[in-house]
Protein backbone atom coordinates (compact mmCIF):
# COMPACT_ATOMS: atom_id res chain seq x y z
CA UNK A 1 0.00 0.00 0.00
CA UNK A 2 1.19 3.54 -0.66
CA UNK A 3 1.46 6.10 2.13
CA UNK A 4 -1.71 7.81 0.95
CA UNK A 5 -3.62 4.52 0.76
CA UNK A 6 -2.54 3.57 4.30
CA UNK A 7 -3.65 6.94 5.65
CA UNK A 8 -7.02 6.72 3.93
CA UNK A 9 -7.49 3.24 5.36
CA UNK A 10 -6.11 3.54 8.90
CA UNK A 11 -6.38 7.23 9.88
CA UNK A 12 -9.60 8.87 11.10
CA UNK A 13 -10.95 10.90 8.19
CA UNK A 14 -10.73 14.20 10.11
CA UNK A 15 -8.30 15.74 7.59
CA UNK A 16 -10.16 14.64 4.44
CA UNK A 17 -8.22 13.31 1.46
CA UNK A 18 -4.69 14.70 1.72
CA UNK A 19 -3.03 15.92 -1.42
CA UNK A 20 0.55 14.67 -1.46
CA UNK A 21 3.32 12.98 0.50
CA UNK A 22 6.07 15.21 1.87
CA UNK A 23 9.27 13.30 2.48
CA UNK A 24 11.80 15.95 3.53
CA UNK A 25 12.48 19.66 3.92
CA UNK A 26 15.42 22.04 3.70
CA UNK A 27 15.23 25.78 4.35
CA UNK A 28 12.19 27.20 2.50
CA UNK A 29 11.78 24.05 0.40
CA UNK A 30 9.96 20.74 0.86
CA UNK A 31 10.28 17.63 -1.33
CA UNK A 32 7.79 14.92 -2.23
CA UNK A 33 8.46 11.20 -2.61
CA UNK A 34 9.40 11.57 -6.26
CA UNK A 35 11.94 14.26 -5.35
CA UNK A 36 9.87 17.15 -6.77
CA UNK A 37 10.56 20.32 -4.85
CA UNK A 38 8.11 22.95 -3.67
CA UNK A 39 8.66 26.43 -2.29
CA UNK A 40 7.08 26.14 1.15
CA UNK A 41 5.29 29.41 1.93
CA UNK A 42 3.06 27.63 4.42
CA UNK A 43 5.87 26.43 6.71
CA UNK A 44 3.57 23.75 8.13
CA UNK A 45 1.06 26.46 9.13
CA UNK A 46 3.54 29.01 10.48
CA UNK A 47 5.52 26.35 12.37
CA UNK A 48 8.85 26.00 10.52
CA UNK A 49 9.79 29.53 11.61
CA UNK A 50 13.56 29.09 11.13
CA UNK A 51 13.25 26.93 8.00
CA UNK A 52 13.24 23.16 7.60
CA UNK A 53 16.23 21.18 8.89
CA UNK A 54 17.92 24.22 10.40
CA UNK A 55 21.47 23.05 11.29
CA UNK A 56 21.66 24.89 14.66
CA UNK A 57 18.27 23.54 15.68
CA UNK A 58 19.30 19.99 14.70
CA UNK A 59 22.50 20.27 16.74
CA UNK A 60 20.63 21.46 19.86
CA UNK A 61 17.89 18.82 19.60
CA UNK A 62 20.40 16.05 18.90
CA UNK A 63 22.51 17.09 21.91
CA UNK A 64 19.49 17.22 24.22
CA UNK A 65 18.14 13.87 22.92
CA UNK A 66 21.43 12.25 23.90
CA UNK A 67 21.36 13.90 27.34
CA UNK A 68 17.78 13.76 28.66
CA UNK A 69 14.47 13.67 26.78
CA UNK A 70 11.91 13.57 29.57
CA UNK A 71 11.64 13.36 33.35
CA UNK A 72 8.18 14.93 34.14
CA UNK A 73 7.38 18.09 36.08
CA UNK A 74 8.08 16.39 39.40
CA UNK A 75 11.68 17.56 38.95
CA UNK A 76 13.58 20.55 37.61
CA UNK A 77 15.40 20.68 34.29
CA UNK A 78 17.69 23.41 33.00
CA UNK A 79 16.16 23.76 29.51
CA UNK A 80 12.75 24.47 31.09
CA UNK A 81 14.22 27.10 33.41
CA UNK A 82 16.15 28.71 30.57
CA UNK A 83 13.12 28.80 28.28
CA UNK A 84 10.90 30.35 30.98
CA UNK A 85 13.58 33.00 31.62
CA UNK A 86 13.96 33.71 27.91
CA UNK A 87 10.21 34.14 27.35
CA UNK A 88 9.85 36.46 30.37
CA UNK A 89 12.82 38.39 29.06
CA UNK A 90 11.15 38.87 25.67
CA UNK A 91 7.58 39.50 26.83
CA UNK A 92 7.79 41.18 30.21
CA UNK A 93 7.68 40.66 33.98
CA UNK A 94 5.58 37.61 34.68
CA UNK A 95 5.60 33.83 34.59
CA UNK A 96 5.39 31.03 32.09
CA UNK A 97 3.64 27.65 31.86
CA UNK A 98 4.74 25.26 29.14
CA UNK A 99 2.42 22.81 27.40
CA UNK A 100 2.27 21.01 24.05
CA UNK A 101 0.05 22.88 21.61
CA UNK A 102 -1.87 26.04 20.85
CA UNK A 103 -5.21 24.71 21.98
CA UNK A 104 -3.65 23.59 25.27
CA UNK A 105 -2.12 27.03 25.76
CA UNK A 106 -5.57 28.58 25.34
CA UNK A 107 -7.06 26.08 27.81
CA UNK A 108 -4.46 27.29 30.31
CA UNK A 109 -5.47 30.92 29.65
CA UNK A 110 -9.16 30.04 30.11
CA UNK A 111 -8.43 28.28 33.39
CA UNK A 112 -6.23 31.16 34.60
CA UNK A 113 -9.02 33.62 33.73
CA UNK A 114 -11.59 31.61 35.68
CA UNK A 115 -9.33 31.30 38.72
CA UNK A 116 -8.55 35.00 38.54
CA UNK A 117 -12.23 35.91 38.28
CA UNK A 118 -13.14 33.65 41.19
CA UNK A 119 -10.45 35.16 43.38
CA UNK A 120 -11.51 38.69 42.53
CA UNK A 121 -15.23 38.03 43.02
CA UNK A 122 -14.64 36.04 46.19
CA UNK A 123 -16.10 32.79 44.88
CA UNK A 124 -16.68 30.64 41.79
CA UNK A 125 -19.37 31.24 39.21
CA UNK A 126 -19.62 35.03 39.60
CA UNK A 127 -16.91 36.35 37.31
CA UNK A 128 -16.08 33.80 34.65
CA UNK A 129 -17.34 35.08 31.29
CA UNK A 130 -14.74 35.41 28.52
CA UNK A 131 -15.39 37.68 25.54
CA UNK A 132 -13.80 36.61 22.24
CA UNK A 133 -14.12 37.74 18.62
CA UNK A 134 -16.32 36.39 15.83
CA UNK A 135 -14.21 34.50 13.25
CA UNK A 136 -11.39 34.05 15.76
CA UNK A 137 -9.68 30.71 16.10
CA UNK A 138 -8.38 29.36 19.40
CA UNK A 139 -8.22 25.58 18.89
CA UNK A 140 -10.29 22.41 18.92
CA UNK A 141 -10.47 21.17 22.51
CA UNK A 142 -13.79 21.83 24.22
CA UNK A 143 -12.77 25.04 26.02
CA UNK A 144 -10.86 26.46 23.07
CA UNK A 145 -13.66 25.65 20.65
CA UNK A 146 -16.14 27.43 22.91
CA UNK A 147 -13.83 30.45 22.60
CA UNK A 148 -13.79 30.00 18.82
CA UNK A 149 -16.79 31.91 17.47
CA UNK A 150 -17.21 29.92 14.25
CA UNK A 151 -20.24 27.73 13.56
CA UNK A 152 -18.26 25.21 11.50
CA UNK A 153 -15.82 24.57 14.38
CA UNK A 154 -18.55 24.23 17.05
CA UNK A 155 -20.96 22.16 14.94
CA UNK A 156 -21.66 18.74 16.43
CA UNK A 157 -20.30 19.39 19.92
CA UNK A 158 -23.24 20.75 21.86
CA UNK A 159 -23.49 21.45 24.72
CA UNK A 160 -20.74 24.02 24.16
CA UNK A 161 -18.94 25.10 27.34
CA UNK A 162 -20.83 28.03 28.89
CA UNK A 163 -19.43 31.43 29.67
CA UNK A 164 -18.31 32.82 26.31
CA UNK A 165 -19.63 35.85 24.43
CA UNK A 166 -18.61 37.01 21.01
CA UNK A 167 -17.93 40.55 19.83
CA UNK A 168 -17.02 41.77 16.35
CA UNK A 169 -13.29 41.93 15.62
CA UNK A 170 -12.02 45.51 15.19
CA UNK A 171 -15.35 46.85 16.52
CA UNK A 172 -14.73 48.11 20.05
CA UNK A 173 -18.37 49.17 20.55
CA UNK A 174 -19.56 45.59 20.00
CA UNK A 175 -17.20 44.41 22.77
CA UNK A 176 -18.21 47.25 25.09
CA UNK A 177 -21.82 46.05 24.89
CA UNK A 178 -20.77 42.60 26.11
CA UNK A 179 -18.66 43.81 29.03
CA UNK A 180 -19.85 43.57 32.61
CA UNK A 181 -18.55 42.82 36.06
CA UNK A 182 -19.03 39.08 35.39
CA UNK A 183 -16.37 39.22 32.64
CA UNK A 184 -13.09 37.60 33.69
CA UNK A 185 -11.22 38.15 30.43
CA UNK A 186 -11.20 39.29 26.83
CA UNK A 187 -9.32 36.96 24.47
CA UNK A 188 -8.44 37.90 20.87
CA UNK A 189 -5.80 37.20 18.23
CA UNK A 190 -3.78 40.38 17.47
CA UNK A 191 -3.85 39.13 13.88
CA UNK A 192 -6.69 36.72 13.10
CA UNK A 193 -5.06 33.87 11.21
CA UNK A 194 -7.39 31.02 10.28
CA UNK A 195 -10.17 33.32 9.15
CA UNK A 196 -7.96 35.05 6.55
CA UNK A 197 -5.23 37.17 8.17
CA UNK A 198 -6.93 40.26 9.58
CA UNK A 199 -4.66 42.46 11.72
CA UNK A 200 -6.28 44.17 14.70
CA UNK A 201 -6.33 47.94 14.56
CA UNK A 202 -4.11 49.34 17.34
CA UNK A 203 -7.01 51.57 18.46
CA UNK A 204 -9.23 48.47 18.82
CA UNK A 205 -6.67 46.76 21.07
CA UNK A 206 -6.21 49.95 23.09
CA UNK A 207 -9.98 50.17 23.57
CA UNK A 208 -10.09 46.53 24.73
CA UNK A 209 -7.35 47.28 27.23
CA UNK A 210 -9.32 50.22 28.60
CA UNK A 211 -12.52 48.15 28.90
CA UNK A 212 -10.65 45.37 30.68
CA UNK A 213 -9.21 47.82 33.16
CA UNK A 214 -12.64 49.31 33.85
CA UNK A 215 -14.26 45.91 34.46
CA UNK A 216 -11.24 44.34 36.23
CA UNK A 217 -10.96 41.75 33.47
CA UNK A 218 -7.80 40.30 31.95
CA UNK A 219 -6.72 41.17 28.44
CA UNK A 220 -5.48 37.96 26.82
CA UNK A 221 -3.86 37.61 23.40
CA UNK A 222 -3.72 34.42 21.35
CA UNK A 223 -0.36 34.78 19.58
CA UNK A 224 -0.15 31.10 18.63
CA UNK A 225 0.11 31.97 14.93
CA UNK A 226 1.16 35.63 14.81
CA UNK A 227 3.89 35.53 17.48
CA UNK A 228 7.64 34.73 17.59
CA UNK A 229 8.85 37.34 15.15
CA UNK A 230 6.41 36.67 12.32
CA UNK A 231 4.82 40.12 12.47
CA UNK A 232 8.07 42.06 12.90
CA UNK A 233 8.47 42.03 16.69
CA UNK A 234 8.69 39.07 19.09
CA UNK A 235 4.92 39.39 19.65
CA UNK A 236 2.49 40.87 17.14
CA UNK A 237 0.96 42.82 20.03
CA UNK A 238 4.34 44.46 20.65
CA UNK A 239 4.25 45.67 17.04
CA UNK A 240 0.67 46.90 17.53
CA UNK A 241 1.70 48.62 20.76
CA UNK A 242 -0.62 47.05 23.34
CA UNK A 243 0.55 44.85 26.22
CA UNK A 244 -1.72 42.11 27.58
CA UNK A 245 -2.08 40.28 30.92
CA UNK A 246 -1.59 36.89 29.29
CA UNK A 247 -0.43 35.40 25.99
CA UNK A 248 -0.82 31.96 24.43
CA UNK A 249 1.92 30.62 22.17
CA UNK A 250 2.69 27.50 20.12
CA UNK A 251 3.17 26.96 16.35
CA UNK A 252 6.49 28.67 15.47
CA UNK A 253 7.83 28.60 19.04
CA UNK A 254 9.52 25.20 18.71
CA UNK A 255 10.68 25.60 15.11
CA UNK A 256 8.75 22.40 14.30
CA UNK A 257 8.90 20.65 17.66
CA UNK A 258 5.45 20.38 19.30
CA UNK A 259 5.37 22.89 22.15
CA UNK A 260 2.94 25.46 23.52
CA UNK A 261 3.29 28.01 26.29
CA UNK A 262 1.48 30.75 28.14
CA UNK A 263 2.95 33.89 29.61
CA UNK A 264 1.00 35.48 32.46
CA UNK A 265 1.61 38.78 34.20
CA UNK A 266 2.49 38.47 37.90
CA UNK A 267 -1.04 39.40 39.10
CA UNK A 268 -2.54 36.75 36.87
CA UNK A 269 0.12 34.04 37.36
CA UNK A 270 -0.31 33.98 41.14
CA UNK A 271 -3.75 32.34 40.85
CA UNK A 272 -2.23 29.23 39.28
CA UNK A 273 -1.48 27.72 42.70
CA UNK A 274 -0.17 24.15 43.15
CA UNK A 275 -2.82 21.65 42.05
CA UNK A 276 -4.75 23.99 39.74
CA UNK A 277 -3.10 22.87 36.51
CA UNK A 278 -0.57 20.36 35.24
CA UNK A 279 0.87 18.36 32.36
CA UNK A 280 2.99 15.24 31.91
CA UNK A 281 4.84 16.15 28.72
CA UNK A 282 4.63 19.95 28.87
CA UNK A 283 7.98 21.69 29.26
CA UNK A 284 10.06 18.55 28.84
CA UNK A 285 13.77 19.16 28.23
CA UNK A 286 13.73 18.08 24.57
CA UNK A 287 10.85 20.39 23.62
CA UNK A 288 12.42 23.25 25.60
CA UNK A 289 15.81 22.72 23.95
CA UNK A 290 14.09 22.92 20.54
CA UNK A 291 12.33 26.16 21.51
CA UNK A 292 15.54 27.63 22.97
CA UNK A 293 17.40 26.85 19.74
CA UNK A 294 14.56 28.49 17.78
CA UNK A 295 14.59 31.63 19.95
CA UNK A 296 18.37 31.76 19.71
CA UNK A 297 18.19 31.61 15.91
CA UNK A 298 15.46 34.30 15.91
CA UNK A 299 17.56 36.74 17.92
CA UNK A 300 21.05 35.97 16.58
CA UNK A 301 19.86 36.36 12.96
CA UNK A 302 17.45 39.27 13.67
CA UNK A 303 14.62 37.32 12.11
CA UNK A 304 11.85 39.57 13.46
CA UNK A 305 13.42 42.51 11.62
CA UNK A 306 13.83 40.32 8.54
CA UNK A 307 10.13 39.38 8.79
CA UNK A 308 9.16 43.06 8.88
CA UNK A 309 11.36 43.89 5.88
CA UNK A 310 10.58 40.80 3.79
CA UNK A 311 6.92 41.15 4.74
CA UNK A 312 6.87 44.61 3.15
CA UNK A 313 8.65 43.26 0.07
CA UNK A 314 6.15 40.40 -0.26
CA UNK A 315 3.22 42.78 0.31
CA UNK A 316 4.34 45.10 -2.51
CA UNK A 317 4.54 42.12 -4.89
CA UNK A 318 1.15 40.75 -3.84
CA UNK A 319 -0.52 44.15 -4.15
CA UNK A 320 0.91 44.56 -7.65
CA UNK A 321 -0.46 41.13 -8.67
CA UNK A 322 -3.82 41.89 -7.01
CA UNK A 323 -4.11 45.10 -9.09
CA UNK A 324 -3.18 43.19 -12.26
CA UNK A 325 -5.96 40.59 -11.76
CA UNK A 326 -8.91 42.47 -10.21
CA UNK A 327 -11.32 39.92 -11.68
CA UNK A 328 -9.62 37.15 -9.76
CA UNK A 329 -8.22 38.77 -6.61
CA UNK A 330 -10.22 40.99 -4.25
CA UNK A 331 -7.31 42.18 -2.14
CA UNK A 332 -4.08 41.36 -0.35
CA UNK A 333 -3.52 42.11 3.34
CA UNK A 334 -1.52 41.16 6.42
CA UNK A 335 1.32 42.13 8.73
CA UNK A 336 4.99 41.13 8.49
CA UNK A 337 5.32 37.62 7.08
CA UNK A 338 1.69 36.82 7.79
CA UNK A 339 -0.13 37.67 4.56
CA UNK A 340 -3.22 36.61 2.67
CA UNK A 341 -4.77 37.06 -0.74
CA UNK A 342 -8.57 36.99 -0.97
CA UNK A 343 -10.06 35.61 -4.17
CA UNK A 344 -13.23 36.64 -5.98
CA UNK A 345 -16.20 34.42 -5.09
CA UNK A 346 -16.19 32.42 -8.34
CA UNK A 347 -12.81 30.89 -7.45
CA UNK A 348 -12.31 28.36 -4.65
CA UNK A 349 -9.18 28.71 -2.53
CA UNK A 350 -8.79 24.91 -2.48
CA UNK A 351 -8.71 24.87 -6.30
CA UNK A 352 -6.23 27.74 -6.52
CA UNK A 353 -4.11 26.11 -3.81
CA UNK A 354 -3.92 22.87 -5.84
CA UNK A 355 -2.99 24.76 -9.03
CA UNK A 356 -0.23 26.62 -7.15
CA UNK A 357 1.11 23.36 -5.78
CA UNK A 358 1.23 21.92 -9.30
CA UNK A 359 3.37 24.94 -10.19
CA UNK A 360 5.62 24.40 -7.16
CA UNK A 361 4.32 26.81 -4.50
CA UNK A 362 2.74 25.75 -1.20
CA UNK A 363 0.24 28.14 0.42
CA UNK A 364 -2.35 27.55 3.15
CA UNK A 365 -6.11 28.04 2.72
CA UNK A 366 -7.80 30.38 5.21
CA UNK A 367 -11.33 31.60 5.87
CA UNK A 368 -13.92 31.20 3.18
CA UNK A 369 -11.80 32.18 0.20
CA UNK A 370 -8.26 33.24 1.06
CA UNK A 371 -4.77 31.77 0.78
CA UNK A 372 -2.13 32.50 3.40
CA UNK A 373 1.57 33.24 2.88
CA UNK A 374 3.44 32.16 6.04
CA UNK A 375 7.02 31.49 4.92
CA UNK A 376 9.91 30.72 7.27
CA UNK A 377 11.17 33.95 8.87
CA UNK A 378 14.64 33.58 7.34
CA UNK A 379 13.19 33.80 3.83
CA UNK A 380 15.07 36.09 1.43
CA UNK A 381 14.24 38.19 -1.63
CA UNK A 382 15.29 35.40 -4.01
CA UNK A 383 12.70 33.01 -2.60
CA UNK A 384 10.02 35.71 -2.43
CA UNK A 385 10.68 36.62 -6.08
CA UNK A 386 10.40 32.93 -7.02
CA UNK A 387 7.13 32.59 -5.08
CA UNK A 388 5.67 35.76 -6.63
CA UNK A 389 6.62 34.50 -10.10
CA UNK A 390 4.79 31.20 -9.56
CA UNK A 391 1.83 33.05 -8.04
CA UNK A 392 1.60 35.49 -10.95
CA UNK A 393 1.90 32.70 -13.54
CA UNK A 394 -0.83 30.70 -11.79
CA UNK A 395 -3.12 33.76 -11.71
CA UNK A 396 -2.62 34.11 -15.47
CA UNK A 397 -3.55 30.46 -16.03
CA UNK A 398 -6.59 30.59 -13.74
C1 LIG B 1 -3.31 27.01 15.27
C2 LIG B 1 -3.92 27.91 16.25
C3 LIG B 1 -4.41 27.42 17.48
C4 LIG B 1 -4.43 25.97 17.82
O5 LIG B 1 -3.15 25.44 17.93
P6 LIG B 1 -2.95 23.85 17.91
O7 LIG B 1 -1.49 23.68 18.18
O8 LIG B 1 -3.38 23.38 16.56
O9 LIG B 1 -3.78 23.28 18.98
C10 LIG B 1 -4.90 28.35 18.38
N11 LIG B 1 -4.92 29.67 18.10
C12 LIG B 1 -4.46 30.16 16.94
C13 LIG B 1 -4.47 31.63 16.70
C14 LIG B 1 -3.97 29.30 15.96
O15 LIG B 1 -3.53 29.78 14.80
pLDDT digits (tens, 9 = 90+) for 300-359: 999 999 999 999 999 999 999 999 999 999 999 999 999 999 999 999 999 999 999 999
Query: What average pLDDT score do residues 286-303 get?
Result: 98
For 204, residues 6+ apart whose C-beta sits below 8 A from its C-beta are 169, 170, 171, 172
pLDDT band at residue 17, thresholds of 50, 70 and 90?
A: confident
Task: Find out whether the beta carbon of 230 lies less than 6 Å from any atom of ligand 1.
Answer: no
Task: Find out whether the beta carbon of 143 lies less than 6 Å from any atom of ligand 1.
Answer: no
For 246, residues 6+ apart whose C-beta sits below 8 A from its C-beta are 109, 112, 113, 185, 218, 219, 220, 221, 262, 263, 264, 265, 268
Q: 393: CA distance to ligand 1 center in Å?
A: 32
Q: Which residues of 265-281 are buried (b: 16+ CB within 10 A; e: fewer)?
A: beebbebbeeeebebeb
Task: Find out whether the beta carbon of 138 lies less than 6 Å from any atom of ligand 1.
Answer: yes
Q: 138: CA distance to ligand 1 center in Å?
A: 6
The confidence score (pLDDT) of residue 368 equals: 86
Q: 232: CA distance to ligand 1 center in Å?
A: 20
Q: What is the H or E stretch that residue 24 is in?
A: strand 22-26
Using CA atoms, how far apart are residues 210 and 230, in angstroms rounded to an integer? 26
Q: How many CB atoms sit inside 10 A of residue 336's CB?
A: 26
CA distances in angstroms from 296 to 101, 107, 176, 198, 292, listed in the order given: 20, 27, 40, 29, 6
Query: What average pLDDT score do residues 153-161 get?
Result: 98
Angle subtended by helix axes 285-300 and 55-67, to nearest 10:
150
Query: What average pLDDT score do residues 59-88 get?
Result: 98
Q: 309: CA distance to ligand 1 center in Å?
A: 25
Q: Are 47 and 251 in contact (CB under 8 A)?
A: yes
Helices marked H in 215-371: 236-240, 266-269, 285-300, 303-324, 349-358
Residues 175-188 pLDDT 10s: 999 999 999 999 99
β-bridge partners, 199: 191
Q: Which of 42, 45, 104, 137 is the best mutation target for the ligand 1 pocket, counting ligand atoms within 8 Å of the beta carbon and taking the most?
A: 137
Q: Are strands 29-32 and 218-222 parallel, antiparallel or unpaired?
A: unpaired
DSSP character string of 255-289: BTB--EEEEE-HHHHTT--TTS---SSTT-HHHHH
pLDDT band at residue 189, thresholds of 50, 70 and 90?
A: very high
Helices marked H in 129-188: 142-147, 151-154, 172-176
Using alpha carbons, select from 397, 343, 340, 394 the residue that is nearest to residue 42.
340
Q: 226: CA distance to ligand 1 center in Å?
A: 10
The confidence score (pLDDT) of residue 19 equals: 86
Does residue 159 have a cis bond before it (omega within 30 degrees)? yes
Residue 129 has pLDDT above 90, yes or no: yes
The confidence score (pLDDT) of residue 233 equals: 98
Helices (H) and strands (E) in the chain, counts: 15, 17
The confidence score (pLDDT) of residue 206 equals: 98
- Nearest CA owner, ligand 1 atom 6: 102
Computed over every residue of the chain, the mean pLDDT equals: 97
Q: 41: CA distance to ligand 1 center in Å?
A: 18
The confidence score (pLDDT) of residue 108 equals: 98
β-bridge partners, 312: none
Task: Find out whether the beta carbon of 83 lies less than 6 Å from any atom of ligand 1.
Answer: no
Residues 346-385 pLDDT 10s: 999 999 999 999 999 999 999 989 999 999 999 999 999 9
DSSP character string of 127-192: S-EEEEEBT----SSHHHHHHSB-HHHHTT-PSPPS-EEEE-TT-HHHHHTT--TTEEEEEE-SEE
Q: Are 38 and 357 in contact (CB under 8 A)?
A: yes
Q: Are 187 and 131 in contact (CB under 8 A)?
A: yes
For 229, residues 6+ apart whose C-beta sits below 8 A from its C-beta are 49, 252, 298, 303, 304, 307, 336, 377
Amino acid sequence: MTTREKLSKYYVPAFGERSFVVSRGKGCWIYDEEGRKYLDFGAGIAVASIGHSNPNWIKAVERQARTLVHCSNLYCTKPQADLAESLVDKIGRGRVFICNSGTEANEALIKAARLYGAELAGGEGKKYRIVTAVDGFHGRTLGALAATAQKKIQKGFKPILKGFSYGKFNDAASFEKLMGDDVAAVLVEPVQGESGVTPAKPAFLRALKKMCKKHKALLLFDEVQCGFGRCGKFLASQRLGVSPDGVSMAKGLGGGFPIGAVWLSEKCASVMAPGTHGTTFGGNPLACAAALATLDELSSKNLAANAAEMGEYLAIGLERIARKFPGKIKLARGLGLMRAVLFQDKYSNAGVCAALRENGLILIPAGSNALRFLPPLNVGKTEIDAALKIFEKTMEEL
